[in-house]
Structure 1
Amino acid sequence: MKDRIIESASKYINQYGVKRFTVDDIAKDLGISKKTIYKYFDSKNHLVSEFIRTSIEDNNNKTLEAVDKEDTLIGKINAALLSHHKYQMPLDILEDIEKYYPEDWERIQEQLNFKLNLMRDLVSEGIGSGKLKEDINIDVLILIMERSFRAILEYDFLVKSNLNINNAVKEIQKIILFGILKDEE
């Protein structure tokens, strides 16, 4: 039942945001009483926090699975950087989480660190195997990526650029991995 409640919460959070959905919405959707929901979650805030925790855990697990399925280094890096959420979260919801749920926002920041550490490991592996240049300063690369990722979490930038998060990540990846020079340069 707990998973069904989170599943329903996901639908309403995506539709109304973390502040505007109600426990009544979920109860009506599932055909259960609010009392049943409160057996599993102390409050609406607890439910939102559990939704965020579940989403991050799912993304991390699916990211590792996606990386393991890839045969090439570029495929692994691509899989590591993209989101693999069971619960897709629109960007404006991330803004609300940052504003209203600071502890949960820290979890989202930890997820970014998880992806950056995975990237660090893949780059180290690529250097060790000779697939990447030996003179890459991994710390600088990770700093560039971390700052780039934080920038794309800014709602206004994505809206102005007509991008979603995964498309913005692909653009960052394209520039960092393949550069801006044409082949003949």
Structure 2
Amino acid sequence: MKKRLQETVLELIVQKGLKFTMNDIAARQGISKRTIYEHFNSKQHIIETLVDDAIKEVKQREQMIFQQKNWSYEQKLKAVLLIVPSGLRFGDTEVLMQMKRFAPNEWEKIDHLLQDEWKTVQQIIELGIQEGEFRSLHVPSVIQLLRGASMAIFDPDFHTHEVKPLPEAVATMVDVVMHGMINKREL
């Protein structure tokens, strides 16, 4: 039942953003609010659970990618940088803005993930340099560049002026980081 409630909330977030109510959940599920409160003690608790699940998903996907034996470090780096959680709609601009405004504690968790959780990326880059797949670069500078780019791309304020969905903006960022901006032409 808890998973069904979470799925219902994700559907409501797509329709209403974070402005859904416990009554909306109950009506959608055809249950009483009391049943919801058996699994979640508040709307905030539901949002907290969804954010925690999304962060857990990101970390699990990172580890699955990192452990791929037959992938190049370039493939691993690109795949890790392209991760956008599938559950909570981080790709929805309005949800990001509402999260920052109405769920600041949960936004702080997302912000922490974007700023501080770069160990897997760092390992991939360092191993790629050791194996000669990447150029020898100052890894802390690369991580800082990626951190800044990610913060900018995931910033809800950026999306108020931009119409591209978040996954497309992330893909552009990754493409520029991995391949630069110069159009390589044969001479």
Tell me which interval the TM-score lies in, with the shorter structure as reference length: 0.7 to 0.9
The correspondence for 2:111, drawn from 95, 109, 112, is: 109
Write the deviation string for residues 1-23 of structure 1: whole angstroms up to 9, x where unpaired: 111111111111121111x1011
Tell me the CA shift for residue 156 of structure 1. Answer: 4.8
Write the deviation string for residues 55-78 of structure 1: whole angstroms up to 9, x where unpaired: 221232233324434612221111
TM-score by length of 1: 0.87
Q: Distance in 2 between matches of 1:138 and 1:144?
A: 10
Q: Distance in 2 between matches of 1:29 and 1:158?
A: 30
Indicate the SS of the match to 2:183. Answer: coil
1:61 paired residue number: 60
1:48 paired residue number: 47
Aligned in 2, Cα 1:161/1:118: closer, same or farther, shift over 3 Å? same
2:94 paired residue number: 92
Q: Distance in 2 between matches of 1:139 and 1:86?
A: 29
Q: Distance in 2 between matches of 1:132 and 1:32?
A: 55
Asked if 1:35 is matched to 2:58, the reply is no
Amino acid at match of 1:47: I
Aligned in 2, Cα 1:137/1:174: closer, same or farther, shift over 3 Å? same
Tell me the CA shift for residue 105 of structure 1. Answer: 1.1
Asked which structure has the greater RCO (Cα within 8 Å, sep 6+), the reply is: 2
2:3 paired residue number: 3
Write the deviation string for residues 40-94 of structure 1: whole angstroms up to 9, x where unpaired: 1111111111121122212322333244346122211111012242315112111
The total of aligned residue pairs comes to: 183
Q: Distance in 2 between matches of 1:95 and 1:161?
A: 13
1:140 paired residue number: 141
Aligned in 2, Cα 1:85/1:10: closer, same or farther, shift over 3 Å? same
Q: Distance in 1 between matches of 2:85 and 2:176?
A: 24
Unaligned stretches of 5+ residues in structure 2 = none
Q: Distance in 1 between matches of 2:139 and 2:10?
A: 37
Check conservation: 1:62, 1:85, Cα contact below 8 A: no
2:23 paired residue number: 24
CA RMSD between the two structures = 2.1
Check conservation: 2:78, 2:178, Cα contact below 8 A: no
Check conservation: 1:60, 1:111, Cα contact below 8 A: no
Q: Distance in 2 between matches of 1:104 and 1:81?
A: 21
The equivalences for 1:161-176 within 5 A come to 161-176=162-177
Check conservation: 2:97, 2:157, Cα contact below 8 A: no
Indicate the SS of the match to 2:85. Answer: coil
Indicate the SS of the match to 1:17. Answer: helix
